Structure 1
Amino acid sequence: MKFSQFAGVTTLVAAAVLFSGVFSSAKANGPFGNIDKVMGSAVVGSGEQYGDISLVNGSVQMASNSRAKTVSIVNGGIDIRDDVQLDSAETVNGTIEAGRNLQVTGSLSTVNGKIIADDNARVAGNVSSVNGDITLNSAQIAQDISTVNGDIQLAGNTVVKGNVVFKKPGKKKSFFGWSNNDKPSLHIAADAVVEGQIILEQPVELDFANPDMQAKVVERF
């Protein structure tokens, strides 16, 4: 066999092996595989199913009836339409906003951004932010909801089976020294329920349509 023929056969074999590896990875992580980018956004179309989506600088848009495993972003938001299924979603600098019937087998978290979920979200883990509001409408949260400097609004018939926690904030530098005078707020609608405790590690403005929620409050400051 001539060298040129041997090289051609070797190239075809290598390509077949590479294709086989990519195909196996896609099959293991979803029909469309994983998405991993440093720069650029990602769009998951309706009916599409991906594995892990990891971005550094970019946003994720998930159309209705789509699925993914872990969605993880450093600088960018996560826009989720109706009837989407996820293992988890997290971003450092960005908002997570979801439509109706979101299903999450893990947790939702952001550092600098909001978390907003429309009707009937189901989250099996925690929902957490540091510097951002959390707004849930008729959601079911299996574990805790927590924030440091954000407001929390539990609307409709939201049920939190764990605790609602306002964590102790760090101090913010003002012109006259270190201070942090802005109080976050907690609003719980008449039909919303917190089955655990409402743990306050800082002063919080409380707005309870159902006065029975007051008995859940534990102050730790």
Structure 2
Amino acid sequence: MKFSQFAGITVLVAAAVLVSGVFSSAVAEGSYRNIDKVMGSAVVGSGERYGDISLVNGSVQMASNSSARAVSLVNGSIDIRDDVKIKSAETVNGGIAAGRNLQVSGGLVTVNGEVKLADNAVIGGGVATVNGNISLRSAQVAQDISTVNGDITLAGTTVVKGDVVFKKRGKKKSFFGWGNNKKPTLHIAADAVVEGRIILEQEVKLKLENPAMQAKVVERF
């Protein structure tokens, strides 16, 4: 789902809830409950299992050894501790931070915020930001990693099976006019591997500790 579509759909849902006056913070669906809020945060305790978590204005905290399906936010951050399992996580205005051994069957997406994962995350989809950094350590990512205005750090023994992409950025208006001259940085540790390509649609400062990664670089600007 595109960022604009995700934000638009969520806002429409929020409006419908407010107009109708119907609110459900925990709706039974099979053996797991959903959390659906317009205002307010959600806390998933250690060992708890939830279905979908959808918030408009609020953050999510997930304790160790908990799980959920899709976690979708508009204005809020997603804070995940160790040994957590989710299907996917998306937020428009907020970051995604996780402890060790995160398991995600889908992907992680944020528009305005960073993605920072501790050791040994396994991501079945991709990782994407627009305005934010991506930092992974000894992670496995099955698809692409991408950003527009942010740095990417692949530390430890991280393996990216897809591409690493710095997408083309639009012009950013500064106080003195149009301009956005700060180059983002790509840092790949000596033992980290990108199996796909490193696609640069803008100028990027490269810190490639393994010289073999240089052959992966494709410039498109």
Deviation per residue, 1:143-166 (Å, 9 max, x gap): 000000000000000000000000
Shift of 1:112: 0.4
CA contact (8 A) 2:160 2:193 kept: yes
Deviating 4+ runs (over 3 angstroms): none
1:26 aligns with 2:18: no
1:113 aligns with 2:113: yes
Q: Please, what is the CA RMSD of the aligned residues? A: 1.1
Distance in 2 (CA, whole Å) between partners of 1:35 and 1:182 is 40
- Counterpart in the other structure of 2:104: 104
Distance in 1 (CA, whole Å) between partners of 2:119 and 2:28 is 32
Alignment of 1:87-98 (within 5 A): 87-98=87-98
- Counterpart in the other structure of 1:4: none
Shift of 1:175: 2.7
1:182 aligns with 2:176: no
Distance in 2 (CA, whole Å) between partners of 1:167 and 1:84 is 30
Q: Any unmatched runs of 5+ in structure 2?
A: 1-23
Alignment of 1:30-179 (within 5 A): 30-31=31-32, 33-179=33-179
Task: Using structure 1 for the length normalisation, give the TM-score.
Answer: 0.87
Distance in 1 (CA, whole Å) between partners of 2:29 and 2:109 is 28
Distance in 2 (CA, whole Å) between partners of 1:175 and 1:38 is 35
CA contact (8 A) 2:75 2:91 kept: yes
Task: Using structure 2 for the length normalisation, give the TM-score.
Answer: 0.87
CA contact (8 A) 2:29 2:51 kept: no
Q: Secondary structure at the match of 2:150?
A: coil
Distance in 1 (CA, whole Å) between partners of 2:187 and 2:44 is 34
- Counterpart in the other structure of 1:220: 220
Distance in 1 (CA, whole Å) between partners of 2:175 and 2:63 is 45
Q: How many residues align?
A: 196
Cα 1:27–1:172, aligned 2, differ >3 Å: closer, same or farther?
A: closer
Shift of 1:174: 1.7
Distance in 2 (CA, whole Å) between partners of 1:148 and 1:55 is 25
Distance in 2 (CA, whole Å) between partners of 1:129 and 1:166 is 10
Shift of 1:27: 4.7
Shift of 1:177: 2.0
Deviation per residue, 1:169-200 (Å, 9 max, x gap): 01111233211101100000000000000000
Shift of 1:98: 0.2
Identity %: 74
Aligned residue type for 1:176: F
More strand by share: 2
Aligned residue type for 2:141: I
Bigger CA radius of gyration: 1
Shift of 1:26: 2.6
